[in-house]
A and B are shown apart, each in its own frame.
Chain A
Amino acid sequence: MTHETVPQDDALHEITLVVNGTVRRARVPARRLLSDCLRHDLGLTGTHVGCEHGVCGCCTVLLDGRPVRSCLTFAVTVDGAELTTVEGLAGPGGRLSPVQRAFAECHALQCGFCTPGFLCTVTALLRGNPAPTREEVVEGISGNLCRCTGYQNIVKAVHRAAELLAEET
């Protein structure tokens, strides 16, 4: 419910993104948020929008491997980038990734709305730190809000995912 008058710029910009390994093209206005581009232009609705002001972390995706808030990113600014969304986390043949499996096993999701953001955040976290301490886990997920789980099972799932990753590599 923005009430400021926004100068309209209707010019469309052609951008190319590599999303989950597939080259995708879209024509978007300069103000199109990356979250909206993914959801509405590319139809990848797994990335969720919880606040549109960069606090809740639901919209987190991996941009060239790093977690970013797609609601604070203009799509045109990531032209040419490689993106991973929740739809791209599972392995070949759709086998769930260790992080996804650990979340299911540990009951680390309830309504599931914040889950894609957590999965992306945790995927990157464990890539950088395959055996985090509890403090590192809590710190690592402290940019994502969950209103359902109280986080306890999410913390447990991150440790479990680290175990699964260690077993499988």
Chain B
Amino acid sequence: MSTRWLGEPVARREDPRLLTGRGRYLDDLGRDAPAAAFVRSPHAHARIRDIDVSGALDVDGLIAVYTWEDLPERVGRPLPLLIPHPALTHGRTAYPLARDVVRHVGEPVVMVVATDRYAAEDACALIRVDYEPLKPVVGIEEAVQGAQLVHEDVPGNVGAHLVQEVPAADGRGAREAIESAPHTLAFRLDIERSASMPLEGRGVYARWDGRDLRVYSSTQTSTSVRMAVAAALGLPLPQVEVIAPDVGGGFGVKIVHPWPEEILVPWAAMTLNREIKWTEDRREHFVSSAHERAQVQQVRVGFDDDGRLLGLDVTILHDHGAYTPYGIIVPIVTSTQLLGPYKPGAYRVEFTAVYTNTVQVTPYRGAGRPQGVFCMERTLDKIARYLGKDRTEVRAVNFIQPGEFPYDQGMTFQDGRPLIYDSGNYPEMLRMIKELIGWDSFERRPGRGIGIGCYVEGTGVGPYEGGHVQVTSDGRVHVSTGLTSQGQGHETAFAQIAAAELGVPIERVSVVTGDTRRFGYAVGTFASRAAVVSGNAIALACRKVREKALRIAADALEADPADLTVTDGVVHVAGTPSASIPLSTVAVLANPLRYAFDEEAARATQFSGAADPGKPPVAEGDEPGLEGRDYYSPIRSTFAAGMHAAIVETDPDTAEIKVVKYAVVHDCGRLINPMIVEGQIHGGVAQGIGGALYERMVYDQHGQLVNASFMDFLVPYATEIPRIETGHLETPSPLNPLGVKGAGEAGVIPVSAVIASAIEDAEGIPIDRMPISPSELYALRVNRRP
């Protein structure tokens, strides 16, 4: 393998089209397609008494109006519960259009199709829905009381309950270990809701030609949308194709599927025999897609004089919103990834996932990790403070050491497989982050503090991804993989892998992702898995192609395949520079032809003398063409890690919090493109700072999301984000051929913990809630005063 392209900051091949307005995002497609719009519930919890659509019928341009009652049985079924789990005893999902009861503001009730979006919204405005308001359940604590129920058949609003326990080496459980520990602490932590908030919302565009259905969706998983649509509409799978075009950010929310609109828009396209498009607007995105983060954590910890953890007992209340389409992945990830780079002694974690009359909770970048890391890192800071020790010392005594890998944490991870860390070097990482932020030389003063946070991220979960690689007779290399892209630069990173594996110039490689016409088997883009799972699948597919190319070239050059190398798209005999054959010619020879479509192709036709007339043109067990397909299915996740540190300043009067320095040391194994990895980290940190200081979903007691706009939900601008210093450590993963781990989510994971640590250091006040606003910090100061 030529490593020339790997590890290089190769310029992105996506950029030229995205910089010139030639991107193809969902709403850029189907210019003249009729538009769908939805009447959504204005109530958090209500019974639908009646729907009167008559007012809408005279709207110019109206094409159709649908309520749940208009849907065929199969289409009107509850949406699938994507990830069942034995602990999710009361999983509930929504109907595509509300049936009898609405359970959050924004739930779709009526679908309207009209000639354009303006007309569709006019019609929506004239539809009258008669609701009988029911008392809503808002907030984790109200949900736990169980006085009101979100779902009548879910007692106590409890969707799931799970206890995982890992005893200490001496067999004692966490609670016992804590009881007998020299020191103990107990406290509560609160984390509020935020959301992925990609700048492009969701959207679906469907075309039906009488036999085949083509669906474009702004999704993180086109293959799974395809299966869900085919199942819901009763279509044979080969008659459905789903394409993720350019996607304007995902960050988790677009892995959920099928959204109601992903079923309804294709169904309406078939029913009306017209193409139809729905593009989500911002308010819809706030109230009808998904949120994440909200948890209440009760922590008890026992430790020794050095700050070594002896027992940790965490009880988590997780707000799941109104439905659980994505199962309990988020609290499972919190429970397991809470452990970070540490040995917890004995560990017990219990979570209860409760329903509330709010937007459903599904993974947002980090997917439960930011909450878990907040818990562990706050715990270690409290231990350090209690013992009067440096916070980094307490972390260091608890680290898993470099010689202890693979390290089994004794739990079950989100992929159903053991939580075994593959590799890492946490002490070195701590040294690097301390140096990068200037930990030891930091001058503390009132209103100026330093903080640190460490995490381990299970990345690259299975079950699998695949890659297909084809060299055509023009010498071009066509790579496809089923998972999708939302800005991560997959076209570039995967092209680097293919160019390196095949020995071809990267300019000749093109990559297609998220198009089921090109690759039908895939899982999706989430969990920092694309480089690990698709990257390795593409590498393996390239190796098959290379092997075949060498076999055919060896025949043509009358050489031993072992003596051949491929450089710049040409196969050479080592030591004999004149003996060579371009891959384009190898591709011609790989496909025996009857018809010559161009001059080059003539070399493969039946009278060209290329083939041995004593053998079939395509040998037994062989296939025509210079192409290969392979899959990578990891035995279990790889475990990336990182440490962040920040210096913050707080205003003595206004309590404004300013991050003045931010440093990141990151280990995602072998780097494919450091420029892209760094960009991922920057973006993650910015989202983390949003979550730590600015972003929260504010529900009032009636279940109204009162800040459902960018005016009031404060996504940071450039003015809020500090410069981020980045250091890379590379401990390759032993689990996969490329040695890579994932990087997509990393940046966001420890930020709330880091900022809390730094504010606490600056103010001398415990920071146990995130996010924290200036007014909240001000209130903490006031309450502290005697």
Contact = CB atoms under 8 A, between A and B. Distances in A.
B214 to A, nearest CB: 19
B718 A111 contact: no
Contacts of A96: 16, 19-20
B31 A43 contact: yes
Q: Nearest 10 CB-CB pairs, A to B?
A: A46-B21, A111-B487, A113-B248, A112-B18, A150-B682, A150-B686, A55-B710, A110-B487, A45-B28, A86-B21
Contacts of A153: 679, 682
Among B16, B20, B251, B723, residue most surrounded by chain A Cβ atoms (within 10 Å) = B20
Among B247, B717, B718, residue most surrounded by chain A Cβ atoms (within 10 Å) = B718
A139 B296 CA distance: 37
A70 interface: no
A17 interface: no
A165 interface: no
Interface in B1-32: 9, 11-12, 14-16, 18-23, 25, 27-28, 31
B717 A142 contact: yes
A105 B11 contact: yes
Given A112-B23, A147-B197, A151-B721, 16 more contacts: A5-B125, A10-B60, A39-B28, A48-B25, A50-B199, A50-B248, A53-B710, A87-B20, A104-B12, A113-B23, A113-B198, A115-B18, A138-B719, A147-B251, A147-B683, A153-B679
A112 B284 contact: no
Interface of A: 1-6, 8, 10, 29, 31-32, 39-40, 43-53, 55-56, 58, 85-87, 89-90, 94, 96, 100, 103-105, 107, 109-116, 119, 138-139, 141-155
Interface string B121-149: 11011100000000000000000000000
Contacts of A52: 281-282
Interface stretch (B37-45, B159-167, B339-347, B527-535): B37-45
A109 B19 contact: yes
Given A112-B14, A151-B718, A40 B116 contact: yes
Contacts of A142: 717-719
Main secondary structure of the interface of A (DSSP, over half): loop
Among A5, A94, A110, residue most surrounded by chain B Cβ atoms (within 10 Å) = A110
Q: How large, as a class, is the contact surface on chain B?
A: 35 or more
A100 B20 CA distance: 8
A25 to B, nearest CB: 17
Given A1-B281, A45-B21, A56-B710, A144 B717 contact: yes
Contacts of A56: 199, 282, 710
B199 A58 contact: yes
Interface string B404-448: 000000000000000000000000000000000000000000000
A89 B20 contact: yes
Contacts of A104: 11-12, 15-16, 19
Contact of A49 (B23, B27, B126, B724): B27
Contacts of A29: 118
Nearest to A20: B21
A46 B22 contact: yes
27 contacts: A1-B38, A1-B40, A1-B124, A8-B60, A40-B116, A43-B31, A50-B200, A53-B710, A58-B199, A87-B20, A96-B19, A103-B19, A105-B11, A107-B675, A110-B489, A110-B679, A111-B200, A113-B248, A114-B248, A116-B21, A145-B710, A147-B198, A147-B199, A149-B683, A150-B679, A150-B685, A151-B686
